[in-house]
Amino acid sequence: MPHLGRQLRQVVLISGDRESRIGFTRIARRWENVRLVVAEGATAGVRAVVSERPQLVVLDAQLPDTNALSTVSTLRKTSVARRVPMVVIGTDGTGHEELRFLQVGADSYLTRPLDIEKVDQTALGWLEVGALRP
């Protein structure tokens, strides 16, 4: 498991799906020096990002209370999340949805079912990069 150093890193997970939240939480618990803040839905997620000032945002592409594309766009317009890496988790393996998310400001797109190794590489990689961003 990559080591992120001793500094605590915050990750905000925004998801409307209980099973997705449980699954991602299980993966994130394995990471050292990472605190996961789980937000149920876009409204709570935006509030969590603003209040917690995370080093990474993980967003479910399917949100019950709003369009996830608009959530990424909204977060990118805030001073707090303008430079925070964002990873979207979706189900579209064709690349169409991934392209739309990347166009509005997401940094990475992962598909379900989640490959734990790929989640580790992507999330921990962005946490390392985020630590270097001004």
Amino acid 128: pLDDT: 87
In this structure, is residue 123 part of a structural domain?
yes
User: Residue 34 has which token pair?
Assistant: 């990472």
Question: Would you call 44 exposed, middle or buried from its count of C-beta atoms within 10 A (0-12, 13-18, 19+)?
Answer: middle
pLDDT of residue 47: 97
Q: What is the pTM for the complete model shown?
A: 0.92
For residue 54, the model assigns a pLDDT of 96
For the CA atoms of 31, 36, 38, 42, the dihedral, rounded to the nearest 10 degrees, stands at -100
For the chain, list residues with pLDDT below 70.
1-5, 130-134
- Quote the domain boundaries for residue 94: 9-129
Residue 3 lies in a domain: no
23 CB-near residues (< 8 Å, 6+ apart): 114
Domain total in the chain: 1
Does a structural domain hold residue 112?
yes
Say if 35 falls within a structural domain.
yes
Q: Is residue 41 situated within a structural domain?
A: yes
88 DSSP 8-state letter: E
Give me the pLDDT at residue 105, please: 96
Position 134 in a domain: no
What is the domain-level CATH number for residue 91?
3.40.50.2300
pLDDT of residue 99: 97
Q: What is the dihedral of CA 73, 98, 28, 76, to 10 degrees?
A: -10
Answer whether residue 66 is part of any domain: yes
Measured from the Cβ of residue 107, the count of other Cβ atoms closer than 10 Å reads 19
Q: Is residue 4 part of a domain?
A: no
